[in-house]
Amino acid sequence: MLTAADVIAGKLLVQLGDVTAERARAVMRAAAADASAQEDLVARLQAEGLDQAKVTRIRRYVGLYEMVRAEAVYLTLLEKRHGVPRAEAHDLLARIEADVYRSRLGALLVEAGRLTAEEDRALVQRARQAMAAEDAKVVARYARDDFEGVARPLVRAPKVTAAAFTASTIFRSPETARLVRAEVERLRGLADPVPATGGDVDFAPPEALLAQAEPAPGGLDLDRLARADTARFLQSAPDPAAGDLRGRREIGPYEVVECLGQGGMGAVYLARDPESAGALVAVKVLHTGRAGPDDQARFQRELAVMRLVDHPDVVALIDEGRTADGLDFVVLQAFPGRPLRAHLREGGPLPLDAGLRLLERLLEALGAVHAAGVVHRDVKPENVFVIAGPERAVKLLDLGIARRIDHGRPAAERLFRTRAGVISGSPAYVAPETITDDPIDGRTDVYSLGVLLFEALTGRLPLVADSPYEYLREHLLGVPLTLGQARKDVAWSPDLERLVARMLAKERDHRPTCADILGALRGGLAEAAVRHAQAPPAATKESGVVKGLYKLLNRATWS
């Protein structure tokens, strides 16, 4: 499918000279013709040879453009609906631009007491609806013109750099841009101002955009979206031509009990190990003749990672091999129980004490993964297995897209590479730096774990969207719900709220490590949070100070 983000990326790639206009048009035509495709324009071009440095640059620039566009629309709403004077609007723009967009306009106003958190969220929702309506029109217009508009510059600056992507220079008048830039220079002491340039006329200015877009009746169905299961960006259905693997009675020396599932590249079985008194094991089979290079690389990568990680809460590798007819297989531990997803779907949110115990076990498991120099990159309820029994022990599963790291950058070993240009992970849980292709480390998993914890405790996701692509925007720009906003029947402790907000920080360097979180939980935070939630209502009534702390939570996620 083709999205507005693809249009932005295509125009920037042509403007920067990374691809020709004809090449970009050809790829955009192909994307528009394939509504089921999940690869974006940049991923398609990278598969054709666009080098990694250019991929990283363009993803950052697209993210910057979307960020400043969202702020520009939000600011126009403020001026129209809340009577923010033009001079104050200029000051707000200058403050966020001087701070390189580490704070949102709404967060600044909530902190200053000019808006409530609910008013801020309503403005964000309205801005999102307006942008979505405009995006659909832009994509349709470009398709009608056979994408000729991709040759027009997106940013009319002498040189396209990150500094050119500001709301004042792209989406405001030249006069406003000069005033804002002068204030930024005063705040930061900058010597080289970026000229006021204006943006691409194909993307309507905020005022016109808001005039055209009508809000959807009732807004987004957040509860429905929060309950929906999310899936991997790349999925494969069983391929009849690959042969039916479900009828096999043995895999190597292992006796098949049941085929648990079959996909395009292989199958998973429950089997018995003849050398361990018939103990049950899980056997994953790769259909070597049908699996593509990416599937084979994923299979080998999971093997390599499991050899590195040894922890009781991480699924362990028992055996590996190849059948006589050429099927590669791995043998894993099998356990009685269910995935965490099933528990949440059927039983609703976890009690706070159980949720925090789950968090501790997962922190220990991820800590072992990170100590081995690996980032899991797909932490979500489907990949957490809850073992039946009173202890409710867990196993962290699926290391298929894990990646080794070296000083924040993925290591060069071929075993740990994923499909070129494809954002790996599940859209509702993926960290911002994964989207922008910035350096990753263990704190990338902490972000995903923060989403998982939020969902486990409240039954809702902290960020919601209608599609995988909208989730990417939300992770880059959206303001997460607080626990108290998502579930009002629990008296959440301010310390726990702050911890979750830190785990969901947009900047990787602003998140705690697994060890930091474990230290806080075992240092009294977990016990105090449970005690706070169990206290009588009169004892948990919010004071003015606590209300002020809640107002600062949105700021905490961005700082």
Q: What is the DSSP letter of 375?
A: E
Both tokens of 283, joined, read: 């056997």
Amino acid at 233: F
* Residue of 6, 120, 135, 378 marked catalytic: 378
d(CA 551, CA 116): 8
Tokens of 142: 């470009």
- List alpha helices for 189-286, DSSP H: 206-212, 222-227
Please classify residue 515 by burial: count the beta carbons closer than 10 Å to its beta carbon, then call 0-12 exposed, 13-18 middle and 19+ buried: middle
**Does residue 239 carry a catalytic annotation?**
no
Closest to 443 in 3D by CA, of 368, 363, 373, 513: 513
Of 441, 410, 443, 447, whose CA–CA distance to 428 is shortest? 447
List, in order, residues 6 or more apart from 209 with CB less than 8 Å away: 73, 130, 131, 133, 134
d(CA 497, CA 476): 20
Question: In degrees rounded to 5, what are phi and psi of residue 323?
Answer: -75, 165
Secondary structure (DSSP) of 270-333: EEEEGGGTTEEEEEEEE-TTT--HHHHHHHHHHHHHHHH---TTB--EEEEEE-TTS-EEEEEE
Q: What is the dihedral of CA 337, 338, 344, 346, to 10 degrees?
A: -90
- Compute the distance between CA of residue 188 and CA of residue 99 in angstroms, rounded to an integer: 9
Task: Give the C-alpha separation, 532 to 495, whole Å.
Answer: 10
CB of 395 closer than 8 Å to CB of 335: yes
Q: 354 to each of 425, 457, 529, how far by Cα in Å?
A: 26, 9, 12
Q: CA–CA separation, 435 vs 455, rounded Å?
A: 21
Report the alpha-carbon angle 369-372-377, nearest 5.
40
Paired with 385 in beta bridges are: 339, 395
Output the CA angle 357-361-366, nearest 5 degrees. 140
- Measured between alpha carbons, how far is 559 from 553 in angstroms, rounded to an integer? 10
Give the torsion through C-alpha atoms of 264, 267, 268, 274, to 10 deg: -170
| φ and ψ of 143, to 5 deg | -65, -40
Q: Which residues are catalytic?
A: 378
